[in-house]
Amino acid sequence: MGDKPPGFRGSRSWIGCVEASLCLDHFGGPQGRLCHVPRGAGLQGELERLYSHFAGGGGPVMVGGDADARSKALLGVCLGPGTEAYVLVLDPHFWGVPKNPSDLQAAGWVRWKEVGTAFDSNSFYNLCLTSCNSQKQQHALD
């Protein structure tokens, strides 16, 4: 796609959310809207945006960071009273066919995590919010 040096092709180097968004666009996948969060503690301020994203029919949110190199995707947000909030985290390394959703939860592939423990407060994060219906989704996020 021209955004990497020639030696990148065929390598085993990682790509981040920015590159994943470019790939979605290049290959005609769902729309990917990027959101940069300078520090993990700032994710608390993005919860309403994430909630609107999912409430508006948005798809999984890819998450990438610098100090926090653990890959994750978000599948939902639960806002409680006060500042209590949880995110439904999917570990994207799972492969195979699960017998049932309970097996995925028991093995830790999918779990609810309190926002304060799900993200490293010292890491920046890029979020790629995916949506197949870009106009409706764009309106929900604005």
Of 100, 137, 135, 124, residue with least CA distance to 43: 124
Distance CA 137, CA 126 (A): 18
pTM of the entire predicted model: 0.81
Q: Which residue matches tokens 């989704």?
A: 137
pLDDT in tens, 113-127: 999 888 888 899 999
pLDDT in tens, 8-48: 888 888 888 888 888 888 888 888 899 999 888 888 889 99
User: 42-46, 96-100, 132-136: which has the minimum mean pLDDT?
Assistant: 132-136
Q: Are 140 and 54 in contact (CB under 8 A)?
A: no
Contacts by residues 9-17 (CB-CB < 8 Å, ≥ 24 positions apart):
16/64, 16/126, 17/62, 17/63, 17/64, 17/126, 17/127, 17/128
Percent of the chain whose predicted confidence (pLDDT) is above 70: 92
Q: What number is the average pLDDT over the span 68-82?
A: 85
